[in-house]
Amino acid sequence: MKRTIERRNAPAINAGSMADIAFLLLIFFLVTTTILSDNGLLVKLPPWDPNPPQQDAHSRNLFRVAINSQDLILIRGEEQPLSELKDAVKEFIMNPNGDVTLADKPNKAIVSLINARSTSYETYLKVYNELKAAYNELWEQAAQQRYGRTYRELSVSEQTTIRKDIPLVISEAEPTDHGAVAD
């Protein structure tokens, strides 16, 4: 008599719930993962006005900073290193010696920043940081002279008084398409 060997099939694994488990894991990781986003510069813009009032700034009160496509910094038309920018801005705004080529008063000073479209973002940020640092140092000096305390220790009304005397006015022009930025 011949014996036939019956072959048994291997037991199958039920994979029906595998898709459900994969989907739940996907949702879990999507919910628990934090996505980093670039916040950019925190600049408070004025409200949109289709017909802005025209203000003619006396050229004496305008401090021009330009960055060209080669990331060279032009301060009032002359090439300068970044390390000199902060002190030049502070001197322009405060005008300690009454120079006729510098701002009339600190509350009339306007810092104009223009760059070429091909300017590197790193250079733009460095220049912007130097401009902000100049204002921060001026506010700190004013706080020490007027109140004998640091700017951060002042009340909101005292800080507002200092900011009225030395307002942060950085005017940014639309980037140019040209490699060189004219002053």
Mean pLDDT, 10 residues at a time, the chain of 183 residues = 68 76 90 76 68 66 90 89 93 90 89 90 92 94 93 92 91 72 51
Domain presence at residue 89: yes
37: left (phi over 0), alpha (psi -120 to 50) or beta: beta
Within 8 A by CB and 6+ apart from 47, the residues are none
Domain presence at residue 47: no
Domain presence at residue 67: yes
Domain presence at residue 144: yes
Our measurement of the distance from residue 14's CA atom to the centroid of its chain's CA atoms, rounded to an integer in Å, reads 56
| Matching residue, tokens 């002359």 | 78
Q: What angle do CA 31, 32, 38 make, to 5 degrees?
A: 90
Domain presence at residue 139: yes
Q: How many residues does the chain have?
A: 183
Range of the domain at 132: 61-172
Token pair listed for 153 = 């220790």
* Number of folded domains that form the chain: 1
Cβ proximity of 179 and 68 under 8 Å: yes
What is the per-residue pLDDT for 183?
Answer: 47
φ, ψ dihedrals at 58, nearest 5°: -60, 135
Q: Distance between CA 86 and CA 91 in Å, rounded?
A: 9
Domain presence at residue 50: no
Domain presence at residue 86: yes
Domain presence at residue 117: yes
Cβ proximity of 86 and 130 under 8 Å: yes
By DSSP bridging, strand 110-115 and strand 62-67 are parallel
The predicted model scores a pTM of 0.68
